[in-house]
Amino acid sequence: MTNADYCPTKTDAWNNLQELATNAGKTSIAALFENESGRVAEMSISADQLLLDFSKNLVSQRVWAELLILAEQSDLKNHRDALFAGAPINGSENRSVLHAALRAQEQDLSTQEEHHRHAIISDQLAQVRQVSDAIRQGEWLGSTGKAITDVVNIGIGGSDLGPKLAYAALAEFSHPDIQIHYIANVDGAEILTTLAKLNPETTLVAIASKTFTTQETLLNAKTALRWFEKEMGLKNAQSSTHVVGLTANPKNAKAYGIPESQILEFAEWVGGRYSLWSSIGLSIAVSIGFDKFLEMLDGARAMDLHFQSAPLNKNMPVAMALIGIWYSNFLGAQSAAVIPYCERLQLLPSYLQQLDMESNGKGITQDGKSVSYDTGAIIWGQTGTNGQHAFFQLLHQGTRLVPIDFIASVKDSLSNEEHHRVLLGNMLGQASALMTGQPAPSGEPHRHYPGNKPSNTLLMRSLSAKNFGALIALYEHKVFVQGSIWNINSFDQWGVELGKKMANALLDDSPNITLDPSTKALFEYMASND
Ligand code: F6P
């Protein structure tokens, strides 16, 4: 478990890094390449089919060495062991954090408890296989005897973002005759316009909710049930073959009326934002097939093993986490951009917003003290080349420090050589231009590119299910490492509760809460008919 006395700012490394940061303003990344032999090799890490080059950062070899010492002086290694061993590291909820167990294989297990857990996971995954196979093979029939052509995943946050990202990312492998739709927002326009395009007789709704209590999901599900009734006279659709439940709360799903055999359960120790590997990923398995779903798990497992065994200086999640800490805590960066040069990864930034910001947007330490240093960065981004014609102006010539993750797949069998060369050329060109900059021609200061803008480049050989799994697990562990060094609990999300409570209170006909004057005036304005 964690060391109660640990505080990052009390380590020698933290103090040394603070000193090094005072000179960092004078650091030129281009000069680091000239002065530091072997920089690219030292600052590159391979893990199976992924390559991370972090040499284009405002990080000298001296700073890198000190960041590694910070990791050593933190509780990271113990904390990592505790994570994989299933210790209750989510202290505020007294829970283990075991999403990695979902992708573990028999040979990774040692204790009896791990074997027992693995048997339960295997049963749960077998049900995902059985249901997804039946849907894919046209054997899962709706109430009028027709095969399923459309799956509507109703869920929000982790019950939406991961599956939706994977569905888009792995489009190359998707079933030709089955479309998946994702409904998250409680905005009725979303579900109503989606359902209007579908045939209820061939539609399956997957109600995806870890808790099976989430307001948005339950209201959207209710609307879907009404739609079945209105369009095909199907009463109590929740008990028909048009509805399945994906949840860690089977009791609620059963009470809702879903037959037990159609409730695909997963364990409480799978955090919502880490749940795409569980039955929450049913829509992924329907789309790409269960074997490819297993490949995705396998890629994540490969990253788990890398994270557990690679030395810190060659450990990809550790490197990405330390670089992020350098910018956040020592150079004052407020945000970090994620820019995939791959349109199928367009949802990656929003997926990572939940993963990173819900995990590490915390202000108290594991033992409940206020932190005296910044924690999770603001994550944002979108795909290149689109972003080049939107926000890259600010990246090149603006005043803010924004470290960037450039991400690309070296080969893309859905594209062609001509397009892919241009796409990758743009990525490399932008990363290089941001770093090297260019002096302004005389009298034209607006054409000055200051350069020295840092980035990581992350390459996958191809966007296979395996590499996609590894990519997501990489970010999961990066977030874990940062949370560990910051000594915060990355696995709860109490921050979202108060707003939910206020929203619920406002839904009462006569809200029994004292509203602030601004909200009261807005509420009254909305309630008035004028
Ligand atoms: O509001 C935050 C949150 O609890 C997320 O962590 C979670 O992914 C989402 O809501 C949805 O929760 P559920 O899967 O229980 O419906």
CA 318/CA 45 separation, integer angstroms? 11
Give residue 502's pLDDT: 87
Give residue 513's pLDDT: 80
Give residue 1's pLDDT: 44
Per-residue CA distances from 118 to 103, 106, 172, 290 (Å):
9, 8, 30, 18
Q: Is 217 in the pocket of ligand 1 (CB under 6 A)?
A: yes
CA 334/CA 331 separation, integer angstroms? 9
Give residue 49's pLDDT: 98
**Identified catalytic residue from 116, 500, 501, 520:** 500
Q: Convert the pLDDT of each residue in 68-113 to its tens digit.
A: 999 999 999 999 999 999 999 999 999 999 999 999 999 999 999 9
Return the closest-CA partner of residue 148 out of 159, 137, 156: 137
Give residue 483's pLDDT: 98
Q: Convert the pLDDT of each residue in 414-446 to its tens digit.
A: 999 999 999 999 999 999 999 999 999 999 999
User: How many whole angstroms from 164 Cα to the centroid of ligand 1?
Assistant: 15
Q: Is 57 in the pocket of ligand 1 (CB under 6 A)?
A: no
The verdict on whether 254 is a catalytic residue reads no
Q: If one looks up domain 99-288 in CATH, what number appears?
A: 3.40.50.10490
Higher pLDDT, 529 or 258: 258
**Identified catalytic residue from 26, 389, 417, 446:** 389
Q: Convert the pLDDT of each residue in 16-25 to its tens digit.
A: 999 999 988 7
The fraction of the chain above a pLDDT of 90, given in percent, is 93
The verdict on whether 500 is a catalytic residue reads yes
Give residue 169's pLDDT: 98
Nearest ligand 1 atom, CA 217: 16
For every residue of 93-108, DSSP letters joined together read GTB---GGGGG--GGG
CA 171/CA 165 separation, integer angstroms? 10
Nearest CA to ligand 1 atom 3: 157
Yes or no: say if 114 and 96 are a contact pair by the CB < 8 Å rule.
no
Give residue 163's pLDDT band: very low, low, confident or very high (50, 70, 90). very high
**Identified catalytic residue from 114, 201, 295, 358:** 358
Parts of the chain belonging to CATH 3.40.50.10490 = 8-24+40-85+300-439+447-491, 99-288
Summary mean pLDDT of the chain:
96
Nearest ligand 1 atom, CA 273: 8
Ramachandran region, residue 344 (left: φ > 0; alpha: ψ -120 to 50; beta: rest): alpha
Counting ligand 1 atoms within 8 A of each CB, the residue from 93, 159, 220, 280 with the most, and so the one to mutate, is: 159
- Tell the residue number behind the tokens 């505790």, with chain if given: 82
> For the residues 400-419, what does the mean pLDDT come to?
98
pTM confidence score: 0.97
Give residue 360's pLDDT: 98
Looking at the predicted structure, is the pLDDT value of residue 172 above 50? yes
> For the residues 217-238, what does the mean pLDDT come to?
98
Give residue 512's pLDDT: 74
User: How many whole angstroms from 202 Cα to the centroid of ligand 1?
Assistant: 28
Q: Is 493 in the pocket of ligand 1 (CB under 6 A)?
A: yes
> For the residues 503-520, what does the mean pLDDT come to?
83
Handedness of CA 144, 148, 149, 150 (dihedral sign): positive
Return the closest-CA partner of residue 265 out of 212, 307, 304, 227: 212
Q: Is 215 in the pocket of ligand 1 (CB under 6 A)?
A: no
The verdict on whether 358 is a catalytic residue reads yes
User: How many whole angstroms from 234 Cα to the centroid of ligand 1?
Assistant: 29
Return the closest-CA partner of residue 486 out of 58, 14, 63: 14
Chain centroid, CA 487 distance in Å:
20
Q: If one looks up domain 8-24+40-85+300-439+447-491 in CATH, what number appears?
A: 3.40.50.10490
Give residue 506's pLDDT: 85
130, two tokens: 């059985």
